[in-house]
């Protein structure tokens, strides 16, 4: 929390000195550092150079350089500065929220919603995921949460980290995972969480699809590829793979042969599962 420290000092440190502090904290082995905040420079002159600090500092692989963000404008700056994580803030106390952020709690909630939406399209890791999952569970009495990698930028290590934290927070909830195959890692992402007991995964027939708001994103994993991979790994799905492949091939006729599904083109393998039996997945 370098940010919290610096913002309460009367003396304003030069940008180069802040950069040096961040780099030395990271070198000492701290993995997650809240570097600065992208708030109004008038509200917090001590941290008015957040953009320059983020752009000037060296980054270590695996390090998480976070920033405090109060609104959409702040999130735009955080993304531009390459922040790895945005900590979206508001106060539970109405008077404190008004004094600190000059808005009502409801207005803050709206600002957080907009900022979080922007962050997820930009593929940023957001502490807000956890906050919202907790609220969906506690305030809205939701019992099943589907985590969606809409841009398809997730990778197995990230999936393990995010899903692991969500699982800790939302113990009463069934988790489902929804991966797009943009980077070809959809199936790898499924297998990253399979052992830990997530039993619901989305697929798309023939792998078609994309996302209107995530340019470049391709469709979900092809359902037949998913079923095939699960079955041969010893996770029975209860799905008739041959029937699924036929349906996917029929879809290809009107759509043209460019659908992404692979098992539907290669045909299913002839040998059965080799791995031990696990509980059902699907
Ligand atoms: N970064 C930079 N500038 C911002 C900004 C941001 N995140 N959010 C708003 N601004 C700018 C606006 O562009 C506008 O600029 P202009 O007057 O030149 O057009 C100006 O600030 C006022 O915008 P407005 O939306 O009316 O904000 P506000 O004056 O009501 O302030 C906050 C709202 C949230 C931006 C401000 O109260 C704030 O930054 N508070 C954070 C305080 C803090 O750091 N507290 C400690 C940590 S919790
Ligand atoms: Zn999707």
Average pLDDT over residues 161-187: 88
**pLDDT mean over 191-199:** 88
Nearest residue (CA) to ligand 1, atom 35? 40
Say how far apart CA 142 and CA 28 lie, in whole Å.
Answer: 41
pLDDT of 155 reads: 92
- 54 burial level (CB within 10 Å; 0-12, 13-18, 19+): buried
Ion ligand 2, residues whose Cβ is below 5 A away: 150
Q: What percent of the chain has pLDDT over 90?
A: 31
Ligand 1 binding pocket includes 38 (Cβ within 6 Å):
yes
Give residue-wise pLDDT tens across range 69-105: 999 999 999 999 999 888 888 888 888 889 989 999 8
Q: Tell me what the mean pLDDT of segment 126-143 comes to.
A: 75
Select from 39, 75, 76, 105 the residue to mutate for testing ligand 1; criterion: most ligand atoms less than 8 Å from CB: 39
Q: Is 133 a catalytic residue?
A: no
Element (H, E) at 168: helix 156-169
Cβ burial of 184 (10 Å; 0-12, 13-18, 19+) is exposed
For the four alpha carbons of 241, 242, 245 and 247, in that order, the dihedral sign comes to negative
184 Cα: distance to centroid of ligand 2 (angstroms): 15
pLDDT computed for residue 282 by the predictor: 46
Which-ligand-closest: CA of 37? 1
The pTM of the whole model exceeds 0.95: no
**C-alpha closest to that of 122 among 164, 163, 86:** 86
Q: Ligand 1 in contact with 114 (CB < 6 A)?
A: no
């Amino acid at each position: 929390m370098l940010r919290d420290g610096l913002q309460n000092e009367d003396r304003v440190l030069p940008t180069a000195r802040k950069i040096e502090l961040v780099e030395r904290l990271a070198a000492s082995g701290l993995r997650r550092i809240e570097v600065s905040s992208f708030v109004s420079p008038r509200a917090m002159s001590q941290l008015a150079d957040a953009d320059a600090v983020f752009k000037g500092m060296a980054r270590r692989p695996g390090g998480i350089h976070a920033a405090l963000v109060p609104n959409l404008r702040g999130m735009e700056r955080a993304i531009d500065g390459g922040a790895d994580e945005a900590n979206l803030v508001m106060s539970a106390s109405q008077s404190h929220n008004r004094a600190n952020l000059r808005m009502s709690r409801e207005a803050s909630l709206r600002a957080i919603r907009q900022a979080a939406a922007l962050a997820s399209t930009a593929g940023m890791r957001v502490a807000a995921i956890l906050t919202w999952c907790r609220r969906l569970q506690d305030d809205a009495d939701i019992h099943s949460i589907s985590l969606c990698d809409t841009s398809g930028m997730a990778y197995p290590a990230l999936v393990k980290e995010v899903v692991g934290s969500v699982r800790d927070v939302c113990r009463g909830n069934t988790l489902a995972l929804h991966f797009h195959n943009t980077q070809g890692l959809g199936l790898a992402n499924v297998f990253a969480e399979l052992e830990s007991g997530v039993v619901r995964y989305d697929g798309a027939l023939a792998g078609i699809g994309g996302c209107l708001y995530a340019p470049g994103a391709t469709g979900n994993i092809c359902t037949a590829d998913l079923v095939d991979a699960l079955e041969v790994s010893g996770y029975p799905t209860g799905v008739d793979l041959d029937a699924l492949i036929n349906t996917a091939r029929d879809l290809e006729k009107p759509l043209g042969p460019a659908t992404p599904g692979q098992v539907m083109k290669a045909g299913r393998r002839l040998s059965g599962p080799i791995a031990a039996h696990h509980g059902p997945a699907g």
